[in-house]
A and B are shown apart, each in its own frame.
Chain A
Amino acid sequence: MKPEIVIYCCANFSAVSEEDAEKIIPEDHAVLRISRLPCSGRTDVLYLLRSIEAGATMTMIVGCPEGQCQFVEGNLRARMRVRYANRLLAEAGLGEDRIQMVNIAPGDGIAFAAALRNVVARAREIGPL
């Protein structure tokens, strides 16, 4: 079964579209849904849990490298929320790595492709809820 991955991207990654992502991950390997946030710090624990509850196998949050957030500490807050959301999922018996935070410099397509391939590979291993 094709895993569904929800990707929350910081606005600095505005160039990344679903079509771009599908060039990295062929359509028949995974369903990719990209949602743009003004900053990765806008990530909310409730969004993260609800995306898994709604059927996503994994969720990936793409923020800028630490120390380079336009809003100073948005990506650090996102990292703490991701840690908390994974803890809540673990309590519910869903493992503790369904939500992954990656820090990538805007425009670094190679790093984005590598991160996305890792997440899809992990999603295929663990399967949906």
Chain B
Amino acid sequence: MIVAERKPFDEIKTALAGCRKVFILGCDTCVSVCMAGGKKEVGLLASQLRMSFKKDGKDIQIDEDTVERQCNREYMELVLSRLQDYDLVVSMACGAGVQLLADLSEPLQILPGVNTRFIGMTPQDGTWEERCRACGNCILGETGGICPVTVCAKGILNGPCGGTDHGKCEVDKDKDCAWTLIYHRLEKMGKLDNIRKDFPPRNHLVQCHPAKQVHEVYKGE
């Protein structure tokens, strides 16, 4: 999933100066799971802002709602008509969700309420770790399910490098060497021969930006 963290309160509050009516729109998918921009976090930010503006003696209306997925047109269409009267909409979705909101609600003012950080997983409650760089050519099947592109500090495909040190990485002694992890995982899988494989250089052509894909069924004749 996409992992994000909420922007600092002061940054959001400052950006709202001069508004009379503000809408905070959450996304109940990825950013909800990473506790940055789901229904609850929208409620917390809205409550903080209402209290803070009240304390400053400012009369700014803050309303809130959360859609299932902000990166998906169908869900956004359910809420768009309600946004028209607002001076600004704070989107708590990842960058993709913010951009769909901006496209669909043009020329409404929008503000991202979170900083989008990475594609990650949840090793334990409340913790998220980056595990995929969306390289476009997944080799997890060869590397025991551990991504060297992401977990290795140098992203090398034919590791380990000469800096591996008793299972730790020379770039940061607190970090595990990705290729040592891969070695031990392959050993447990009975696929240690994979470590001898020579991976060709990564094909960066599959990673041109902005990437786009269309499902076959949706392509014209």
A60 interfacial contact with B, CB 8 Å: no
The size class of the interface chain A forms with chain B is 10 to 19
Write the residues of chain B forming the contact surface with A, with a CB cutoff of 8 angstroms. 9-10, 40, 43-44, 47-52, 54-56
CA of A88 to CA of B9, assembled, Å: 9
Q: What B residues does A50 contact at CB under 8 A?
A: 43, 47
CB distance from B52 to the nearest CB of A (A): 4
Chain A contacts with B in 31-80, Cβ cutoff 8 A: 44-46, 49-50, 52-53
Residue of B nearest to A45 (CB): B44
| Given known A46-B47, A50-B47, contact A92–B40 (CB-CB < 8 A) | no
B40 A46 Cβ-Cβ under 8 A = yes
A46's partner among B10, B44, B49, B51 (CB-CB below 8 A) is B44
CB of A94 within 8 A of CB of B43, answer: no
Inter-chain contacts of B47 with A (CB < 8 A) = 46, 49-50, 53
- Specify which chain A residues have a CB less than 8 angstroms from the CB of B54 in the assembled complex: 129
A91 at interface by CB-CB < 8 Å: yes
In the bound complex, CA of A88 to CA of B13 (Å): 13
Return the contact of B49 from the options A45, A89, A92, A129 (Cβ within 8 A).
A92
Most buried by B among A53, A88, A91, A92: A92
* B interface: dominant SS: helix
Beta-carbon contact of A46 and B55 below 8 Å: no
Closest 6 CB pairs of A and B: A92-B52, A91-B9, A92-B48, A49-B47, A92-B51, A53-B47
Q: How far is the CB of B34 from chain A (nearest CB, A)?
A: 15
- The reply to whether A52 and B51 contact each other, CB–CB distance below 8 Å, is yes
The interface residues of chain A lying within 8 Å CB-to-CB of B40 are: 44-46
Given A46-B40, A46-B43, the answer on whether A88 and B55 have CB atoms closer than 8 Å is no
A88 to B48, CA, bound (A): 7
Determine if B55 and A49 form an interchain contact, defined as CB atoms under 8 angstroms apart: no
Give chain B residues whose Cβ lies under 8 Å from the Cβ of A45: 40, 44
Q: Are A49 and B44 in contact (CB under 8 A)?
A: yes
Closest to A91 in B: B9
Q: Which residue, of A44, A49, A50, A129, has the highest number of chain B Cβ atoms within 10 A? A: A49
Sampled A-B contacts (10; CB under 8 Å):
A46-B47, A49-B48, A49-B51, A50-B43, A91-B52, A92-B9, A92-B48, A92-B55, A94-B51, A94-B52
